[in-house]
Amino acid sequence: MPENIKILVIRFSSIGDIILTTPVVRCLRSQLNAKIDFLTKAAYKQLLVSNPNINEVISLEQHKNDMLKVLRSKEYNFVIDLQSNFRSFKLRLMLGVKSYTFSKDTFKRYILIYFGINLLKNHIVDRYFRAVSKLNVCNDEKGLDYFLSNSMLIDFDVDQDYICWCIGGAHKRKQLSSIQVANVISQLEMPVLLLGSAEEKQLSVDIITNIKSNNVYDFCGETSIEESAYLIRNSKLVLTNDTGMMHIASAFDTPIISFWGCTKPSLGFSPYMAAKKSKCIITSFSDAPCSKHGKYCKFQSNGCIKEIKPKIIYEAVVRLIK
């Protein structure tokens, strides 16, 4: 193994997938004493800039016209490709540096979705570690990482007990309905913060319209990813669909209740090494996912996650916050 090792890690998107690479980054740093650069999209750069295990976060858009020239000038010893698509393959090929990647287990995923037979077994984090096994890097079992910057100005008292509810999702069929969420919040006394992007604003408005109490705070579209992460870190509990924020909650060891419909934990993207009290609430239609990313549902036009009863959610919350 050469001295002063320099490694480029590639993962372009998205929030959850990038957070799930952090154990690999940490172990590369600690076990090889390597300098790590991370290549991603500009929209996700903020997730990594405070990570002490990374020397430089490079965005695809940052050097759009001369990206290859910039990367070659870094003189990397290895490239770790945790994106594993055509774009990252092309980049690895053009760099001409010894590279390692992982299998997305496409066939096994197909068998799980269409035949309900789970051959995947391992969590995606464990699959990521396959990419670095030939470098004798192994999982230190310390979970996920997310590092906040020091400056955080949010108009909310985080010293009190409160719940964060991440109401979004990449697809509508991965989201609980406004009625489901409102029903649960109406029964709670503890303050509940609604977190999501501007795209979830209408959903948050609909939730508040259906709530019979004044214990809810709408932060959808009002906070950055980092500000939402700060609220999550200080919360008593996080309720979440299958979203990137769920993995940020795991990084902070905040207890999680996650909701699963069209996607399922069996795909390997459940909260990784989550707090002990954490719970996955899964729709009863099938243990198998309906689709890879939750865009399609086999059972209901609006998504089988809508089948989850508010009573089940409420009872899980009460047990967890006792």
Does the pTM surpass 0.85? The reply is yes
Is 276 found in the same domain as 195? yes
Picking from 16-25, 195-204, 273-282, 284-293, which range would have the lowest pLDDT averaged per residue? 284-293
Beta bridge partners of 239: 165, 257
Examine the domain organization and report whether 178 and 312 are in the same domain.
Answer: yes
**Of 105, 121, 131, the residue nearest 27 (C-alpha):** 131
Looking at the structure, tell me whether residues 112 and 168 fall in a common domain: no
Residues whose CB is less than 8 angstroms from the CB of residue 93 and which lie 6 or more positions away in sequence, other chains included: none
What is the rounded CA–CA span in Å between residue 227 and residue 42?
18
Element (H, E) at 31: helix 22-32
Average pLDDT over residues 263-276: 96
Q: Are residues 182 and 126 in the same domain?
A: no
Mean pLDDT of 10-25: 98
Banded model confidence at residue 286, pLDDT cuts 50, 70, 90: confident
In Å, how far from its chain's centre is CA 62? 24
Instruction: Please report the pLDDT score of residue 213 as a whole number.
Output: 82
- If asked whether residues 313 and 206 sit together in one domain, one would say yes
Asked if the model's pLDDT at residue 22 lies above 80, the reply is yes
pLDDT at 128 over 90: yes
Residues 182, 314, single domain; the answer is: yes
Q: Does 131 share its domain with 250? A: no
Using the 3D structure, point to which of 91, 119, 135 is the last residue of a domain.
135
185 shares a domain with 114: no
pLDDT tens-place string over residues 85-119: 999 999 999 999 999 999 999 999 999 999 999 99
Which stretches within 212-272 are classed as H helix?
225-233, 244-251
Reference 40, options 81, 89, 78, 96; nearest CA is: 81
Domain residues for 265?
Answer: 163-321
Whether residues 111 and 239 fall in one domain: no
Residue 10 is classified by DSSP as: E
The mean pLDDT value of the chain amounts to 95
pLDDT score, position 212: 80
Q: Is residue 146, in this structure, part of any structural domain at all?
A: no
Is 143 contained in some domain? no
Number of domains within the chain: 2
Q: Is the pLDDT assigned to residue 293 strictly greater than 80?
A: yes
215 and 77 inside one domain: no
| Residue 118 maps to a domain | yes
Within a domain: 11: yes
In this structure, is residue 154 part of a structural domain? no
Domain boundary among 93, 116, 135: 135
Residue ending a domain, choose from 115, 135, 155: 135
Same domain, 118 and 242: no
CATH number reported for the structural domain that contains residue 41 in this entry? 3.40.50.2000
In which band, very low, low, confident or very high, does the pLDDT at 9 lie, cut at 50, 70 and 90? very high
Tell whether 112 and 205 lie within a shared domain: no
Confidence of residue 191 (pLDDT cuts 50, 70, 90): very high
In a domain, 48, yes or no: yes
pLDDT tens string 30-73: 999 999 999 999 999 999 999 999 999 999 988 777 899 999 99
In tens, the pLDDT along 218-254 reads 999 999 999 999 999 999 999 999 999 999 999 999 9
Answer yes or no: is 309 within a domain. yes
Confidence of residue 260 (pLDDT cuts 50, 70, 90): very high
Give, to the nearest 10 degrees, the angle between helix 201-209 and helix 178-185.
Answer: 50
Residue 157 in domain: no
| pLDDT number for residue 152 | 82
Contacts of range 274-278, beta carbons closer than 8 Å, 24 or more positions apart: 274/249, 274/250, 275/250, 277/320
